[in-house]
Amino acid sequence: MSQKVLVTGGAGFIGSHLVDALMNNGCKVVVLDNMSYENVNNVRRWLKDERFKFVKGDLKEAAVARKVAENAELVFHLAANPEVRVGEINPSVHFDENLAATFSLLEAMRRSKLTKTLVFASTSTVYGEASVIPTPEDYAPLVPISLYGASKLGCEALACSYAYTFGIRTLIVRLANVVGSRSRHGVVVDFIRKLQTNPSRLEILGDGTQTKSYLHIDDCVGALGHLVDCFLKSRSKVDVYNVGAFDQVGVTRIAEVVVEEMGLENVEFVFTGGVDGGRGWLGDVKVMHLSIRKLLDSGWKPRYNSEQAVRLAAKSLLKEIRC
């Protein structure tokens, strides 16, 4: 893997775990993060390391983007607003923090003489309500049902155009729901918070039939490292991979796992009934399962299935809370 690496959103959940792996592999790492949602504690262990540099700034500002991109050989672009539900309340957030920020980064990479490889963290939500399950990378048409998914698909398109127009090679990874320590949003975190407030009753958004694929953070980082190594050895201008688990798990089973890990009994599950056909919120994809055949064929496979990933995440998050 390249030695000079930029990680946008590197103080966040996925970003900070990726930074740990990069630093442990001897890379020189620059992290750019605006700290809107995350905590510098996620990367505090590296702050005094001479191979590490932390920059607090807004990627949408051209000067900031140029500063961090000019000396990077490889860019992992993870900076984004991760809250799918915010799009219903404030649509401009996903346009600004996802699309505009990505455009700013690509422009900085275009102007750099050194930076020519981008790894873009996309999402399963670009597929929308796929009619093929598990869903492969070549599934079409891509019709996202959330503003978050639409913004990520737009970012993919921008990155592809810069690859073919300006020679910025791009690896796109479409991630399933990633869970694990340091996470600050998502169903596992949501359930833990609710049960801490009321240990006898758990409100579950939707009608209870939501079934999705979950990927443990360790598997996520491992897959990223493997795919980057493969991509750098290839001649592809653009490549796309799904990254997820072999299977799915339902929201009710997730609730049961969290209850078990918290040592609770006789918890009443209360389903809200949901919106638009039982979704947890507008834009919620009820059934998601990515095909990972292409990933498996590349020589890598996840260690954990969806339920194991959820259980490990619950254990880690509860340990963090107690500490």
CA–CA separation, 287 and 243 (whole Å): 16
Q: What is the DSSP letter of 36?
A: S
Ordered DSSP codes for 236-303: -SEEEEEE--SS-EEHHHHHHHHHHHTT--SPEEEE---BTTTBSSTT--SB--B--HHHHHTT---S
> For residue 90, how many other CB atoms are within 10 A of its CB?
13
Q: What does the block give as tokens for 77?
A: 């672009």
3-state secondary structure of 143: strand
Phi, psi of 239 (to 5 degrees): -140, 150
Q: Are 239 and 295 in contact (CB under 8 A)?
A: no
Active site residue 148: yes
Phi, psi of 152 (to 5 degrees): -70, -40
Tracing tokens 């873009």 back to the chain, one arrives at 120
Phi, psi of 322 (to 5 degrees): -70, -30
CA–CA separation, 148 and 146 (whole Å): 5
CA–CA separation, 104 and 239 (whole Å): 21
Going by C-alpha positions, the residue among 144, 76, 139 that lies closest to residue 105 is: 76
Single out the catalytic residue among 37, 127, 139, 148: 148
Going by C-alpha positions, the residue among 89, 90, 120, 125 that lies closest to residue 103 is: 120
Phi, psi of 236 (to 5 degrees): -65, 140
Task: Catalogue the active-site residues.
Answer: 148
